[in-house]
Amino acid sequence: MLGSTGSIGVNTLDVIARHPQRFEVFALAANASVAALQAQCEAFAPRYAVLADADAADALRDRLRGTDTTVLHGEEGLQRIVTADEVDVVMAAIVGAAGLPSALAAARAGKTLLLANKESLVMGGHLLMAAVRESGAQLLPIDSEHNAIFQCMPVDAGARPSLRGVSKVLLTASGGPFRGWSLRDMQDASPDQACAHPNWSMGRKISVDSASLMNKGLEFIEACWLFDLRPDQVEVVVHPQSIIHSMVQYRDGSVLAQLGNPDMRTPIAYGLSWPERIDAGVAPLDLVATARLDFEAPDESRFPCLRLARESVAQGGTAMAACNAANEVAVASFLDEQIRFTDIPAVIETTLERVQVVEPTAVPVVEQADLEARAIALEVLAELRPAKAPLRY
């Protein structure tokens, strides 16, 4: 379980705890949350626990002294646990670009990879999908939208989706907390307002991405890689109730949709048990209480991040990695109250104009492109707010 103390990790462990005869936790990994990971280790008794930070790992090692859990740290620790012979399933839920190396290692080791880290595909989609094909690994998407598409598409025994009869995919978006806001109002939006998602409980970074629709832009890129779709075969539709998680349209006019209450335990349970279905602890959907389902087109004039993500797909190469890197830098700056919410797409667009795009032939190439894009984004931020004075909301 990579990213065990985040929202995906906590929900995954909740599902696992409901089926103790079916699942055993081999290893848990987190960034630096010593106390939270200690509590999880005491509850699930994994063979290994991994923290990114060496000092945090030392602190956890002291706290777990006398238990059967071995504490590791860093990328080497992650590589060790995802490739271990005892591991059947890897939940990849590390946030951001940091999740690519371990997800790729799990794919190359032929594991069943439950992918909740969209940046792995955004940055290194060519590399990750090639590793899945070459090793025979199973890749099951955990993002609610891509899991919904997976449920509505024909797949073979190896979990490989087929485009037989498919005309396009309809990727639903809630519209986020600023769906009805004007550009002027969004300019003065605070981080807390951006993180107040109307339907989902998520971490702050992904919540800001949802507010800007960059999350949907990243999912647009992810869908193209996961299902071997052309960009023109993916359409984003705003659906504020978040009841239909995505749809697949077929050539005969049929549209298959996956519906359910907005709870990440549903796609997590489906990924853990595929091709079976198990109890996820999620309340069944009450269609009568839901009453209505609304749909509208996204407004890219107010939410340009969606356009920028789509343009990075068209550009190809490392443009998608650069788009993701610039977004991570801009979002971090916004959460730190250094820029306004509406500055986020400006940072991304300027970075994409200045960055050099190359073919992502190997992980070091992707990582270098990521670093260069971050450096350029920081330069753009310095030009945007040279004094770096905190904003007042």
* pLDDT at residue 387, rounded to an integer: 54
Q: pLDDT for 193-240, tens place per residue?
A: 999 877 766 778 889 999 999 999 999 999 999 999 999 999 999 999
**Residues of the chain falling short of pLDDT 50:** 393
* pLDDT at residue 391, rounded to an integer: 59
Q: pLDDT for 325-337, tens place per residue?
A: 999 999 999 999 9
Q: What angle do CA 263, 280, 88 make, to 5 degrees?
A: 110
Distance of alpha carbon 147 from alpha carbon 139, whole angstroms: 11
The answer to whether the CB of 255 falls within 8 A of the CB of 249 is: yes
Q: Which token pair is 364? A: 């070091």
CA–CA distances in Å: residue 5 to residues 38, 69, 219, 359? 10, 17, 23, 34
Task: Assign 3-class secondary structure to the chain.
Answer: CECCCCHHHHHHHHHHHCCCCCCCCCEEEECCCHHHHHHHHHHHCCCEEEECCHHHHHHHHHHCCCCCCEEEEHHHHHHHHHCCCCCCEEEECCCCHHHHHHHHHHHHCCCEEEECCHHHHHHHHHHHHHHHHHHCCEEEECCHHHHHHHHHCCECCCCCECCCCEEEEEEEECCCCCCCCCHHHHHCCCHHHHCCCCCCCCCHHHHHHHHHCHHHHHHHHHHHHHHCCCHHHEEEEECCCCCEEEEEEECCCCEEEEECCCCCHHHHHHHHHCCCCCCCCCCCCCHHHHCCCCCECCCCCCCCHHHHHHHHHHHCCCHHHHHHHHHHHHHHHHHCCCCCCCHHHHHHHHHHHHCCCCCCCCHHHHHHHHHHHHHHHHHHHHHHCCCCCCCCC
CA–CA distances in Å: residue 345 to residues 177, 234, 308? 17, 21, 8
Residue 300 class from Cβ within 10 Å (0-12 exposed, 13-18 middle, 19+ buried)?
Answer: middle
* pLDDT at residue 385, rounded to an integer: 75
Q: Which token pair is 351? A: 């970075």
Distance of alpha carbon 52 from alpha carbon 63, whole angstroms: 17
Distance of alpha carbon 326 from alpha carbon 49, whole angstroms: 31
* pLDDT at residue 13, rounded to an integer: 98
The answer to whether the CB of 344 falls within 8 A of the CB of 327 is: yes
* pLDDT at residue 388, rounded to an integer: 53
The answer to whether the CB of 81 falls within 8 A of the CB of 29 is: yes
Instruction: Tell me which residue of 261, 299, 262, 291 sits closest to 179, measured CA to CA.
Output: 299
Rg (CA), the chain: 20
7-142 placed in CATH 3.40.50.720: yes
The answer to whether the CB of 4 falls within 8 A of the CB of 26 is: no
* pLDDT at residue 392, rounded to an integer: 52
The answer to whether the CB of 298 falls within 8 A of the CB of 306 is: yes
The answer to whether the CB of 227 falls within 8 A of the CB of 147 is: no
